[in-house]
Structure 1
Amino acid sequence: MLIGEVARRSGVSTRMLRHYDSLGLVRPTGRTVGGYREYSEADIRRIFHVEGLRSLGLSLRQIGTALADADFPPSALVGDLIRRTEDRLRREQELLERLRAIDASAPDGWPDVLRVVELLHGLDSPHPAHRQQAVLAPAEDGPVPADVLAKALLAEADPNVAGALRWALARAGGDGVASLAAGLRSPDAGVRLRAVLALIELPGDEAASALEGALGDPDPSVRRRAALATGSRGGSAAVPILAGMVVEGTNDVEAAEVLSSLATEHGCADQVMTALAGELAGTGDSAARIRLTQALAELPPSLAHDVLRELAHDDDPAVARVAAALVALR
């Protein structure tokens, strides 16, 4: 079969077939009387072998080595190709994210594009001070894309840079909630905590809904922060967690203050009383019962007075003394 017919059937150009011949990769078995290349069936099969290996990313030199030695082990070469391909995909994914960030900023001109590129370059710095400077630099030509800030925040372990990113996000006026909410689904508790801390500083129902969704987080730190923020916004779903925080002694004073606010300002009095009374009945730990007694004292007298009077006669002398003193003060 002549070279033109081989090119038509194989899809490999005549120029490439001549290149294969010059490299000794696929040499036609014969020649016509006129000196034209003539390919046998075995030659054509070899062409398809070469093209198949090229599709895996092998260089022509590597293909020649592989085809020349039937015992050549493919595992090391394939492993190297996998690593190179993964690295290329990572770089291309980073490029795609940069392009999407630029597109999301709705640039009016190339100065806007260059501003976003400069921000992205600064956020990629290995030095925390440089990343912080990139975030805090005055945006004279327009606002900073919130999604860029949110994604950078979720990946930022340095507390100072993370604080700067939260500040910049808060200035963006509530944008970036979707990206932060996606961070709440991360398997990394640190990422989820950073998302919650940023959502706390953002206004609006969307941020409040995302925070309420974090109340079921498996990590106590994430769950407690979300509860304090949700309760401060009037979310009654936080009440059980806040009552548990009083028992545990973790941010118990702050939790008690939020419970008081929920009871007096957000119509959750019955729910708060039920939660605190339930915790009192469920624990025998003296320190925990004292904290619960003090939390009850934060509530209006009309709600907690009877319970406090009962606690003034508690079997635990320490609890009884605290409750009696609080009743006397009230």
Structure 2
Amino acid sequence: MKKLSLAVLSFLLLLAGCGQADTEDAYNTAIQKGLDAIASENYVKAEAAFELALEDKKADDKAKAYLVQTKAMQVATDAYAKKDYKKTKKEVANVIREKQGSDALVQKATALQTKVSALEKQEQNLQTKWTAIEKAIQAKDYDAASTQVTALLQEDLSEFPAMKKQAEEAQTKIMTEKQALAKQQEEAQAAKEKQEAEQKTAEKEAPMDGADANVEAIAPTGDEIYQAGAALIYADMMAQGQSAGSFIIDENYQWQGEDMAATYAFQVYDAASPNPIATYWYFADTQEVQRQ
């Protein structure tokens, strides 16, 4: 009887050992499948594998850490696809923070974190350039706007399809408005040239007679007439041997406008007496003087 009991106990222990071995194998298999799924970035499959591992070992810290990481990474990649970079950064931080987790997941999360930071910086830079383009368009500086939008479209905008579409539409708008402005400028210039031509024709055809014509043609002021005539007379008097200060040029000149050339009479007096020395004619049109 005693021998029978020992045999039964040994059999039960053998069965228990086999059960534990099967559980360990199932756990290891599930963990490996999860890690393989992570390598191929199939996070849904990885999550399912780690949940199976926890069914075999409910209190296993490694499987728990892998599962937490995988769920966070799955949320991060979904947020990244939707360009929700704030949520992406939050979830990849959760992946990296897990101490007992997968190194492979940490590497992937770190790479995604770096990529998001670069994209945010690029987005900010693109927005700055777009603001400059809008200002140039508003100022009708179409040459500058065209250069800027062309440069913007030459950048890698694969992650910014909305910005690319916006820039392409702006490029079309700039071209259209630039052509319209050029046409307006051409029409304005043509109108100006026509007006100037008509004005010149009218001036040529306007009647001019007698003294009024001469006055309009020369239109000098009194000071200008005296200064111009007196300067020439002074030079001639000095050339005639008169010394400076020995004569006075009278300011009471008279206009003798009998013909088209305006002529002015100047009287020169001896500085020491009221006796006249000479009379000069000043021709305003040729700016010459003639002594009588």
Alignment TM class, shorter chain as reference: under 0.3
Higher alpha-carbon Rg:
2
Task: Give the TM-score normalised by the residue count of structure 2.
Answer: 0.22
Which structure shows the higher strand fraction? 2
TM-score (norm: length of structure 1): 0.20
Structure with the bigger RCO (C-alpha within 8 Å, sep 6+) is: 2
